[in-house]
Amino acid sequence: MKYSFLNDYSEGGHQNILDALLSSNLEQLEGYGEDKYSLSAAEKIKKKLNCPEADIHFVTGGTQANLLCISSFLKPYESVIAAQTAHIEVHEAGAIEFTGHKINTYLGENGKISPEEIQYAVDFHYDEHMVVPRLVFISNSTELGTVYTKNELENISKICKKNNLYLYIDGARLGAAMLSKNNDLKFEDLCKYADAFYIGGTKNGALIGEAIVIINPELKSYFRYNMKQKGALPAKGRLLGIQFDVLFSDNLFFDLANHANKMAQKLANGLKAKGYSFFAEPITNQIFPILPNEIIQKLSKHFEFYVWSKFDENNSVLRLVCSWATKEEAVDAFLNFEALTKH
Amino acid sequence: MKYSFLNDYSEGGHQNILDALLSSNLEQLEGYGEDKYSLSAAEKIKKKLNCPEADIHFVTGGTQANLLCISSFLKPYESVIAAQTAHIEVHEAGAIEFTGHKINTYLGENGKISPEEIQYAVDFHYDEHMVVPRLVFISNSTELGTVYTKNELENISKICKKNNLYLYIDGARLGAAMLSKNNDLKFEDLCKYADAFYIGGTKNGALIGEAIVIINPELKSYFRYNMKQKGALPAKGRLLGIQFDVLFSDNLFFDLANHANKMAQKLANGLKAKGYSFFAEPITNQIFPILPNEIIQKLSKHFEFYVWSKFDENNSVLRLVCSWATKEEAVDAFLNFEALTKH
Amino acid sequence: MKYSFLNDYSEGGHQNILDALLSSNLEQLEGYGEDKYSLSAAEKIKKKLNCPEADIHFVTGGTQANLLCISSFLKPYESVIAAQTAHIEVHEAGAIEFTGHKINTYLGENGKISPEEIQYAVDFHYDEHMVVPRLVFISNSTELGTVYTKNELENISKICKKNNLYLYIDGARLGAAMLSKNNDLKFEDLCKYADAFYIGGTKNGALIGEAIVIINPELKSYFRYNMKQKGALPAKGRLLGIQFDVLFSDNLFFDLANHANKMAQKLANGLKAKGYSFFAEPITNQIFPILPNEIIQKLSKHFEFYVWSKFDENNSVLRLVCSWATKEEAVDAFLNFEALTKH
Amino acid sequence: MKYSFLNDYSEGGHQNILDALLSSNLEQLEGYGEDKYSLSAAEKIKKKLNCPEADIHFVTGGTQANLLCISSFLKPYESVIAAQTAHIEVHEAGAIEFTGHKINTYLGENGKISPEEIQYAVDFHYDEHMVVPRLVFISNSTELGTVYTKNELENISKICKKNNLYLYIDGARLGAAMLSKNNDLKFEDLCKYADAFYIGGTKNGALIGEAIVIINPELKSYFRYNMKQKGALPAKGRLLGIQFDVLFSDNLFFDLANHANKMAQKLANGLKAKGYSFFAEPITNQIFPILPNEIIQKLSKHFEFYVWSKFDENNSVLRLVCSWATKEEAVDAFLNFEALTKH
């Protein structure tokens, strides 16, 4: 059995979550997310965000959160601005376009779009033959494992406000971003800068579920109608509510992200010590080391991971992902793998 | 605390499901429904259906299953034929239309559409100024708790084949239908008559999840692309697979439906014995007794249920729903409720 | 060659229109509807409507006008209320649903929906499992050739305002409605009651073209973006503008409608005099007489028309349509047709 | 009054077209494109294309043709491959995305996409998290006035066939392409290489109208239903049919394109003789000379044109467009403009 560094959704959910599901199991609760656990989870999230006026909705996945929010927030002729590496652009099978909206993509750097690119997008589109860019989509942490600093997010937020653009954050790995050594954002800063975002549960210890947070009052109304219409309002909403109620009890959500980051950091430091370099700075739970192909081949007999891209004739970029459940022994085993050490 | 007969999704999931989630929790598994439990569940379902060539896909809800199947199966100008009481027509917030398709509705009877209505729909639409009806949507059990007999389903299937229509069954409460005293269909008959259907887990003991079954080979290709595009491909697909693996181990799925039906039957028989009549024949886990308003008011202080509709000046139709988890004591308590007995 | 009473779009356009196209032909004009003729036409229409604040847009067809307006005005979860006979429900190949919106239909009477049905639609839809009815669609004249009286329109308008519904009028045959002997609406009354409507050119003497009139300021913004997106902004917008500039010079638009109605009236009176009755009161340019099948068969060798529906074993309902170009001789020939007279 | 080189849709239609509209005006004809002129026009086009099995449909604009074809040809998860300069990507206000489909864009060169880029697009998209590229969109002539050579088109066609991709050509300016001095394609070659394309009338002497040509039998069925659903089936289809019947009588369509190209060629040669260079090779009716800003300013007092883009600090790229109606005197006047000559 190979140990997997493929992703952060290979295991089930944190034990506390399973315990809570068990202990509440036979209670008769309201359907469709109006049960006491969902309400409590929403309260806890709002408290952690220090944002009592936010609206919180729980859904079953990231693509669902993205398509639901974007299609709810935009008018038919309005478009999304995103980096070319954005999940919605590459890895959602055209979900946003299916709901009717164009994505205007720009090169970005390290998975991050710049304020200049956003301004360019706005300026480029100026009459009724073109779409109207209206929402900036960013991921934090990004698809390359990088994070937006407070300063970067502030600048993006400013350019958005100046141009009447909504700022939406895909937080599939928001926990990892918040706990990154490079992060200088407070959790509650998100509410200052973004109009809406989602907090990823699936990739941070939940069995399933993401929490959508809507800050901008313009975007709140009739949201549950849009949820129902997109098949995003499960009858047993308790399943989502209970999990977020647990994740936002004490500090569990952040503790789990911290563990994932720490494991990835240990991997990164070990590889650096052996002289390997990285495709993008390794600062969250996804890291992208560059390794010789012959070593990769040997590693692949003992570990699972994605070969992300070719680097040059003899080397490739790997993606290694750690999760809330990654075992330190596995990290050690990887680092102690003979072929790596001999390098 | 009032006991609830509101619906069949008030409790969590069957204990075996929770046990299986716990015991598999730390196994590292494939994502997106390609894990061993999902594969095993699919095999078990196909075996129970005696249909090895079926394609099985697990999704998180009934509206999601319906919008996903219909939008995958139809071309833009093709429409759905359904009864006016159909869930997709009334209670899915326009989900089908959001994916671009018209629903042509007909009166039906007892929640069931007739072959004559289907033929009428086909004949009525004859040129390019009109949609092309292409899929018949039925629910079994229906939104009124009734079921299609083998003969009825066979006749609908014939009229569909004759007119080149797909037959799709919303099986949110398929378990209850199969275990109804009026049912004469075998589970495997579904594959003979329908082109696709879904088996409802959420309303029959799962925490979340429905199993889509595609029989017609024309409808199978690229289905996972459509799933992803509609936000219906959860990263931890294991959550769905494990549950259906348990439900289709031994006879659990059917045992749970049987319990729900039996409890509803007991309620129905008790009410009949007291002289009450029913809006629709009580043969599955949803029953619709007609009770005097003053009794309803008293009952509502001790039990939860929906007042479905006004019957006449003094009487209303209730909806009482039993589930896999309904306690017999609660049924007894309801039947022994003083106001009812005095009648 | 049979004379055709099939419809009101069998001939080309009025001579004045062709003259104007010729005389302006080589002028170099602005594209996309911003030419001087389009601007002048818009001014003339606003003047006739006594509504200087209206927005006017020219498009190429009625289905286009309907799908464009409805998809521009509504949010994804909002629906349309219409009579079952509505053009958008039956004869637009699912155009409205393709843009994502449900149509909630009600029986109506004589092609007209009632305020009570509208109120019922609003009351029926009360939570997020259902769509939100937001726009009432009526046709004037209706698909059965009937018209809304001032009182009827006022009552519908009131119920719309009370329930926060937009009122939209499909005016494919608005000229015929305005000139009906039963009409007591002034042209400018439309702006008082409707939020938006369109004035049909194609069926009243234009080669092509309808004029969308938007009264409600909420509905005006970014409309040209929606036009472009739906392929409804022709490069040579002059073609549409010139025609409406001619139609709204002097009284031409109304004169043409008057001719069509007068010809239909003559047909209706003649048939009445011969003892025939009508499926709907014959008061615009579409009339629906009930004739014996054997006479219909004879007529069909000399005239073209639609057999609308079976009336009883021996009789059918015809649709006879007169246009701005219908020749009185043809009407006379029809009425003098031997088989009819012998009756 | 400034002479306009803004575009090729500033004037009305060719005199022959107006004559034909006049002479046929009072004939009673079939509606919805089934009149004898539309049928005759289709026959003439098929004959010129030497492709009797093609299906021909007339619509009212280029954006309409593109959105109609693409949404008819593709399944929901399928996408379009196009150059970044493609009209559908930049100048159709998100029309393709509104119908649900993603456009995957690649850099291209001179407005043309390469076979290598197409192959890259196919290879890049390999699983159900991504769209399936299924249709290659090219414009001929391109948005930069360039054309595809026979060899280029053949290579693109090969790569399409190899990868199961449809090839669709936006022929808004197909006439100009066919008559370009660089063109070595025969008109009938289009049917060999493309699965579908449209022949632009609006920009080549028609008042309105484009002719869609469908070659691939897979793409033909139910197309009129899609037309109706998108508001693209005008009641008086005669207006479109008559125009194409005239354009494809004798050689008119090509003669008009030839005139436009010749006028542009004269402009180009004159500017070259004065020492100016071009942003893209001037070979069709759109040319892109690079001129000093101070001269542009002077020219703009006497002529209308678009300043396409900044070239450097002191120079800009102009777009000058000639049409079927461009007067040679205007071309001469432009070339003799003093400021230009002094250069």
- Above 80 in pLDDT, residue C59? yes
Please tell me if residue C61 touches chain D, with a CB cutoff of 8 Å.
yes
Please tell me if residue B132 touches chain A, with a CB cutoff of 8 Å.
no
* Residue A280 tokens, joined: 């993008």
- Above 60 in pLDDT, residue A290? yes
pLDDT at A85: 97
B4-to-A225, A282, B304 alpha-carbon distances in Å: 25, 52, 4
Report the candidate in A200, A239, A210 with the shortest Cα–Cα distance to residue A58.
A210
* In chain D, % of residues over pLDDT 70: 99
CATH class of C3-9+253-342: alpha beta
Contacts of B3 (CB under 8 A, 6+ apart): A28, B302, B303, B304, B327, B330, B333, B334
* Residue A145 tokens, joined: 């494992």
Please tell me if residue D101 touches chain C, with a CB cutoff of 8 Å.
no
Task: Say what angle helices D150-162 and D115-124 make with each other, to 10 degrees.
Answer: 20
Average pLDDT over residues C43-57: 98
CA distance D243 to chain C (A): 12
Q: Write out pLDDT tens, residues C290-335.
A: 999 999 999 999 999 999 999 999 999 999 999 999 999 999 999 9
Distance of CA C316 to the CA centre of its chain: 25
Q: Which of residues 165-204 of C touch D (CB under 8 A)?
A: 202-203
Same fold? A3-9+252-342, A15-247: no
Look at D98 and A100 and tell me if their CB atoms are within 8 Å: yes
Report the candidate in D184, D167, D188, D205 with the shortest Cα–Cα distance to residue D285.
D205
Q: Are D212 and D190 in contact (CB under 8 A)?
A: no
* Of the partner residues D76, D100, D222, the one whose CB lies closest to the CB of residue B77: D222
Domain ranges within chain D, ordered by starting residue: 3-9+252-342, 15-247
Distance of CA C261 to the CA centre of its chain: 14
Q: Write out pLDDT tens, residues A64-114.
A: 999 999 999 999 999 999 999 999 999 999 999 999 999 999 999 999 999
* Of the partner residues C94, C100, C128, the one whose CB lies closest to the CB of residue B98: C100
Q: Are D4 and D10 in contact (CB under 8 A)?
A: yes
Name the residue of chain A whose CA is nearest to D125's CA: A90
Please tell me if residue C287 touches chain A, with a CB cutoff of 8 Å.
no
Q: Are D182 and D281 in contact (CB under 8 A)?
A: yes
Q: Please measure the distance between the N-terminal and C-terminal CA atoms of chain D and give it in whole angstroms.
A: 25
- Above 80 in pLDDT, residue D343? no
CA distance A99 to chain C (A): 9
* Residue A53 tokens, joined: 């006026």
Q: Is D54 helix (H, G, I), strand (E, B) or coil?
A: coil
- Above 80 in pLDDT, residue A211? yes
- Above 90 in pLDDT, residue A341? no
pTM passes above 0.95: yes
- Above 70 in pLDDT, residue C343? no
Residues of chain A with C-beta less than 8 angstroms from the C-beta of C128: 222, 224-225, 227-228, 233
d(C-alpha A174, C-alpha A140), whole Å: 6
Look at A225 and C132 and tell me if their CB atoms are within 8 Å: yes
- Provide the pLDDT confidence category of residue A292 given band limits of 50, 70 and 90: very high
Domain at C15-247: CATH architecture: 3-Layer(aba) Sandwich (3.40)
Look at A77 and C222 and tell me if their CB atoms are within 8 Å: yes
Q: Please give the helix or strand (H or E) that residue A286 lies within, else none.
A: strand A286-287
Please tell me if residue D77 touches chain A, with a CB cutoff of 8 Å.
yes
Look at D79 and A94 and tell me if their CB atoms are within 8 Å: yes
Please tell me if residue D90 touches chain A, with a CB cutoff of 8 Å.
yes
Please tell me if residue B112 touches chain A, with a CB cutoff of 8 Å.
no
Q: Write out pLDDT tens, residues D160-176.
A: 999 999 999 999 999 99
d(C-alpha D239, C-alpha D253), whole Å: 17
Domain D3-9+252-342 belongs in CATH node 3.40.50.720: no
Residues of chain B with C-beta less than 8 angstroms from the C-beta of D227: 128
Look at C28 and D15 and tell me if their CB atoms are within 8 Å: no
Contacts of A17 (CB under 8 A, 6+ apart): A205, A206, A207, A242, A243, A246, A247
Interface test with C, best of D38, D92, D230 (most C CBs within 10 A): D230
Interface test with A, best of D75, D99, D102 (most A CBs within 10 A): D102
Mean pLDDT for all residues in chain D: 97
* Of the partner residues A72, A76, A129, the one whose CB lies closest to the CB of residue C71: A76
Q: How do B286-287 and B210-214 pair as beta strands?
A: unpaired
- Provide the pLDDT confidence category of residue A138 given band limits of 50, 70 and 90: very high
pLDDT at A1: 82
* Of the partner residues B94, B97, B128, the one whose CB lies closest to the CB of residue C93: B128
Residues of chain D with C-beta less than 8 angstroms from the C-beta of C6: 31
Q: Are C282 and C265 in contact (CB under 8 A)?
A: yes
Residues of chain C with C-beta less than 8 angstroms from the C-beta of A77: 222, 225-226, 228-229
Please tell me if residue D265 touches chain C, with a CB cutoff of 8 Å.
no
* Of the partner residues D90, D91, D131, the one whose CB lies closest to the CB of residue A93: D131
Other Cβ atoms closer than 10 A to B329: 9
CA distance D15 to chain C (A): 8
Report the candidate in A294, A285, A293 with the shortest Cα–Cα distance to residue A319.
A285
* Residue C74 tokens, joined: 């509504």
pLDDT in tens, chain B (343 residues): 899 999 999 999 999 999 999 999 999 999 999 999 999 999 999 999 999 999 999 999 999 999 999 999 999 999 999 999 999 999 999 999 999 999 999 999 999 999 999 999 999 999 999 999 999 999 999 999 999 999 999 999 999 999 999 999 999 999 999 999 999 999 999 999 999 999 999 999 999 999 999 999 999 999 999 999 999 999 999 999 999 999 999 999 999 999 999 999 999 999 999 999 999 999 999 999 999 999 999 999 999 999 999 999 999 999 999 999 999 999 999 999 988 875 5
Q: Please measure the distance between the N-terminal and C-terminal CA atoms of chain A and give it in whole angstroms.
A: 25
CA distance B236 to chain A (A): 6
Task: Please work out, in degrees rounded to the nearest 5, the angle formed at the alpha carbon of residue B180 by the alpha carbons of B176 and B186.
Answer: 90
Q: Are B320 and B267 in contact (CB under 8 A)?
A: yes
Q: Please measure the distance between the N-terminal and C-terminal CA atoms of chain C and give it in whole angstroms.
A: 25
d(C-alpha A189, C-alpha A50), whole Å: 9
d(C-alpha A134, C-alpha A167), whole Å: 9
- Provide the pLDDT confidence category of residue D58 given band limits of 50, 70 and 90: very high
Look at D21 and C64 and tell me if their CB atoms are within 8 Å: no
d(C-alpha A310, C-alpha C173), whole Å: 65
CA distance B59 to chain A (A): 10
B24-to-A246, A302, B241, C66 alpha-carbon distances in Å: 20, 22, 11, 55
- Above 70 in pLDDT, residue D26? yes
Secondary structure of chain D: what % helix, strand, coil (to 5)?
40, 20, 40
Cis peptide before A23 (omega within 30 of 0): no
Alpha helix stretches (DSSP H) within chain C: 15-24, 36-48, 62-73, 87-90, 95-98, 115-124, 150-162, 174-178, 189-193, 223-229, 238-247, 252-273, 293-299, 328-335, 338-342
Q: Write out pLDDT tens, residues D240-295.
A: 999 999 999 999 999 999 999 999 999 999 999 999 999 999 999 999 999 999 99
Q: Are C335 and C21 in contact (CB under 8 A)?
A: no
Burial class (CB in 10 A: 0-12, 13-18, 19+), C174: buried
Please tell me if residue B285 touches chain C, with a CB cutoff of 8 Å.
no
Cis peptide before C157 (omega within 30 of 0): no
Interface test with B, best of D74, D129, D134, D230 (most B CBs within 10 A): D129
Please tell me if residue C101 touches chain B, with a CB cutoff of 8 Å.
yes
CA distance C227 to chain A (A): 9
Residue A231 backbone dihedrals phi, psi, to 5 degrees: 70, 30
Q: Are B243 and B210 in contact (CB under 8 A)?
A: no
Q: Which amino acid type is present at position D83?
A: A
pLDDT at C342: 57
Look at B222 and D100 and tell me if their CB atoms are within 8 Å: no
**ipTM, 2 dp:** 0.97
CA distance A226 to chain C (A): 6
d(C-alpha A14, C-alpha A35), whole Å: 21
Residues of chain C with C-beta less than 8 angstroms from the C-beta of D25: 11-13, 15, 18
Q: Write out pLDDT tens, residues D182-192.
A: 999 999 999 99
Residues of chain B with C-beta less than 8 angstroms from the C-beta of A225: 93
Residues of chain D with C-beta less than 8 angstroms from the C-beta of B229: 76-77
- Provide the pLDDT confidence category of residue C338 given band limits of 50, 70 and 90: confident
CA distance C225 to chain A (A): 5
Better-predicted residue by pLDDT, A343 or A238: A238
* Of the partner residues C18, C65, C228, the one whose CB lies closest to the CB of residue D92: C228
- Provide the pLDDT confidence category of residue C197 given band limits of 50, 70 and 90: very high
Name the residue of chain D whose CA is nearest to B101's CA: D229
Name the residue of chain D whose CA is nearest to A76's CA: D98
Please tell me if residue C122 touches chain D, with a CB cutoff of 8 Å.
no
Characterise C122 by phi-psi region: left (phi > 0), alpha (psi -120 to 50), beta (else). alpha
CA distance B247 to chain D (A): 28
- Above 70 in pLDDT, residue C141? yes
d(C-alpha A297, C-alpha A339), whole Å: 10
Chains contacting A (3+ CB pairs below 8 angstroms): B, C, D
